[in-house]
Structure 1
């Protein structure tokens, strides 16, 4: 047996819901499919409270089965089907598996009142619905009426499984905003809608209200039939058998519509229902897919792209800073060498000034050992102080440059710098050769001076008649001899002092050259070590940034590839769903041989 086209469309829609991971939509369509393949025609009656909905069903079936009045407001659905004898039950317990629910027989005339009472009770199992069977010709053709509670979404739940919907609204005014909203929601679930304008016996100008109602439906894009009816006239006609009154009640046209236009057009109703449900379902799937497709067209993760750009800027900044810190290091080391040399020169110059001052009075022949010890200690102190200052300054330079290169890398700098002073910075100092003024030399110098004085004054005194050697010449000779010894001793002391100064100056110059060479060598060695270490750290940072940028780029590329592939899949899915929607629209466009009055295919 070949399945009808609408069933194929419905099954394809169910498969589409499953493929797009929407089991909620698939379950809803499966329930609707079970209803559609059922030969019974399910008509759901909806309406707001006080609009005569339950009384409409009573008048339609000519039986007081639905509770009416303020105390009889419908609380649970009531399903009325054909039965050979009147029967009614209240279903409690399971909402999903009605087969396992409990059914309690209740008199037909009180079943809805009992169901309403139990539904409002806080104790006992929940009431699912009331089931009623009546021997009526209208129901014998397979028609099933469902009375629904007003509000709480019950109308929409029952409309999902409806073949047609009857909405009761009284003729005192046109459709309210809430009723129009309800109809629009119902139309998305069941496209076949009949609006029954009730209580026309109470409103003389009901025809104007009917026209306004049709205008509101047209303005809202709702394809619904509007039928006026009076339940009171219908029940009165049934009691009296007055056919004219029954005709005036409007129920003749309503029954004809239900019995012929609806029950006789099951195929059309199925096509329209499937077309509407498929359209709504496909629209829901398309909305999700379009949103996802729009997301795939967006640039990848903004955070990842921002991180990738940040890593690129960081690499560029690192490359610029590499040249800058090398220039900075070279400049700082050059300034340091100049300052260190000046400091060494200034300290040694001060020592030489003290040496000159010292040997202006001291005799190196007597104090040389003490002087040598003092000079060595001072030069060693100069070497130690200058070396400490050099290394302290280098550590300051290293921290300054290190902050430029890698502020967050404590291992960017060496743990320590060499601080030893060279052992040969202060070499051995030999005492210079100095003349010693011994006794023999003193005697010789004294005799030479005495002879000059004796001879000079002896000759002078001979003019006075005194002999060459006389007391005056002898005294002068002794004075001149002592003077010669004193002068010679002073001259020899000055020569010794000059020699000592020269030796000290030479020694300090040698120290300056030796230690100065060591100081510069140490500075250059530390400079190279620091430069190489910072260059290695810079290279590590460059490699780290490059690897990080590559990893982020791979993530971005992978995400872009995934989004591209997903976009292609979505395009295919969109095409398939669009084709499915067109198939559903073609179902709605298929006209039967005889279209029902008031219904548009």
Structure 2
């Protein structure tokens, strides 16, 4: 026996669902496949309560197989199929599980299976869920409404939903015996069906007239009931070509299953076409900008540090020169009056203390100034990093330990005083004696002796004053030389210490800045690598999704052709 064409279509859909691990859809399609392979075509009679649905089933088969009433009588499906004699093929102990009844009817014998489904209720209620479950197994659906009112929004929504579940749809307009203007209602309903895009024949019927016609075997009354048209429509739409009905039902079921596969894949594909993770991309761009900013800041703080140290060296030289000049002025004032020969030891101690004080003050000022420079550089260029180790600053500043060398101070000894006095007195005695000889006095006389003594005393006094001036000049020269030596040597030591700390600070800042740039660059590289890897994964996944979509869309094209 040749398998029907729709079977391959359904099997391909089942395999697609299995490939995408939708086992719930696989189970549902397998059940549907088994149902479609059974003999007979299932026509589900559906609708809202009170529309005459169960009464219409009874009228179709000419037997009271379904309970009717004004309350919710149908709470479970009732299946009516052909049998050689009237018999309930299955009677469940629980009414909620449904019933299966057999009747010897020509319509049923032609392959029609009628299913009276529970009436629809509010969305989500158990009764609605049972009704939808019955519709899922329908080969065709007969939706029941009545002529007492036009199709409501809920009924139109139901018809749209039913047409998606099962392409073969019929509409029965019941209770025409109660509504004189049923023809107008029928025309309005047909127009509303066309508006919502539901292609379904609408057949007006009266179950009461049909029941009376069956009892009285009145063919004219049967025609007036509209059931002859309804049965003819069922034969034409369902029984004339049952294979086509099965194919359309299989296509509808496959299409709904495919939509559940296509929708998430299409959403994933559309999301994959969007830009890569914007957060990661923003982080990568931010890391790149941070690297550039750190490079700019590195050049800026190096220039700033060089300028600050240059200013510091200039200020250091000026401060040291000013302090040493002040000391030299005090030395000049001091030795204008003091004799170096008697106060040199005291002066040497004072000079040592003064120069030590200059060194300490200058060193302290230098350390404070460098602390300010380092803090300023660290705060502006490298916030949050300690770039000035304490030992660097402790190395700043020099010390002065060289003692003042005592100059060769000329002393005026008693022998020198006697010699100078004799030399001066000789001149005075000779000049006075020569002068007094003109007066007839001898060369050596009391006047010449007195003059010689006066000249000798004056010579000693003048020589002592001259020697004091020379000693003071020698002392000033020695102090000047000592201060100059201090200025040169201490200034050299202070400048060397400043340059050492400058280089250490520069190297430390460069090291920290380099580590920050390396960290930022590494962060950028890691983010870029992750972006590239993610992009590669997304590309591969996108390619796979596109292939899956192409296969599913091709399968859907086959399904649409089958519908």
Q: Which TM-score applies when normalising by structure 1? A: 0.82
Mean Cα displacement is larger for which, 54-63 or 294-303? Answer: 54-63
SS, match of residue 150 in structure 1: coil
Deviations 1:481-501 (A, max 9, x none): 666555444433332222211
1:98 aligns to what? none
**2:552 counterpart (558, 569, 577):** 577
Mean Cα displacement is larger for which, 579-588 or 75-84? Answer: 75-84
C-alpha displacement of 1:171: 0.9
**1:535 counterpart (486, 510, 516):** 510
Query: Distance in 1 between the 2:417 and 2:208 partners?
Result: 169
2:154 aligns to what? 178
**2:93 counterpart (101, 104, 120):** 104
- Output aligned runs, 1:495-574, within 5 Å: 495-574=470-549
1:386 aligns to what? 362
C-alpha displacement of 1:421: 7.3
1:591 aligns to what? none
C-alpha displacement of 1:285: 3.0
Pair 1:33-2:33 in alignment: yes
C-alpha displacement of 1:200: 0.4
Query: Distance in 1 between the 2:179 and 2:412 partners?
Result: 159
- Output aligned runs, 1:398-413, within 5 Å: 398-410=374-386, 412-413=387-388
Contact 1:196 1:228 in 2 (8 A): yes
Deviations 1:25-57 (A, max 9, x none): 333322322221122422222212322223222
Deviations 1:283-327 (A, max 9, x none): 443333222222222222212222222222223333333333332
Distance of aligned partners of 1:144 and 1:68 in 2 relative to their CA distance in 1, 3 Å threshold: closer
Mean Cα displacement is larger for which, 447-456 or 316-325? Answer: 447-456
SS, match of residue 148 in structure 2: coil
Deviations 1:67-91 (A, max 9, x none): 444433544444444564544977x
1:148 aligns to what? 118
Distance of aligned partners of 1:535 and 1:191 in 2 relative to their CA distance in 1, 3 Å threshold: same
C-alpha displacement of 1:12: 0.5
Query: Distance in 1 between the 2:4 and 2:550 partners?
Result: 24
**1:338 counterpart (302, 314, 329):** 314
Query: Distance in 2 between the 1:456 and 1:418 partners?
Result: 75
- Output aligned runs, 1:412-561, within 5 Å: 412-414=387-389, 416-417=391-392, 419-420=394-395, 425-445=400-420, 485-561=460-536
Mean Cα displacement is larger for which, 399-408 or 376-385? Answer: 399-408
Mean Cα displacement is larger for which, 386-395 or 38-47? Answer: 386-395
1:130 aligns to what? 98
2:54 aligns to what? 54
Distance of aligned partners of 1:361 and 1:341 in 2 relative to their CA distance in 1, 3 Å threshold: same
Query: Distance in 2 between the 1:371 and 1:28 partners?
Result: 116
Query: Distance in 2 between the 1:177 and 1:415 partners?
Result: 85
Distance of aligned partners of 1:44 and 1:471 in 2 relative to their CA distance in 1, 3 Å threshold: farther
Structure 1 unaligned segments of length 5 or more: list them.
Answer: 91-102, 106-114, 116-126, 589-601
Distance of aligned partners of 1:23 and 1:472 in 2 relative to their CA distance in 1, 3 Å threshold: farther
- Output aligned runs, 1:231-242, within 5 Å: 231-242=207-218
Contact 1:6 1:271 in 2 (8 A): yes
Mean Cα displacement is larger for which, 276-285 or 578-587? Answer: 276-285
C-alpha displacement of 1:16: 1.4
Q: Which TM-score applies when normalising by structure 2? A: 0.87
The alignment covers a number of residue pairs equal to: 554
Contact 1:44 1:148 in 2 (8 A): no
- Output aligned runs, 1:235-254, within 5 Å: 235-254=211-230
Pair 1:309-2:298 in alignment: no
Structure 2 unaligned segments of length 5 or more: list them.
Answer: none
Distance of aligned partners of 1:404 and 1:24 in 2 relative to their CA distance in 1, 3 Å threshold: farther
Mean Cα displacement is larger for which, 398-407 or 452-461? Answer: 452-461
C-alpha displacement of 1:186: 1.3
Mean Cα displacement is larger for which, 477-486 or 204-213? Answer: 477-486
Deviations 1:155-192 (A, max 9, x none): 33321111111111111232112111111111111111
**2:350 counterpart (364, 374, 377):** 374
C-alpha displacement of 1:198: 0.8
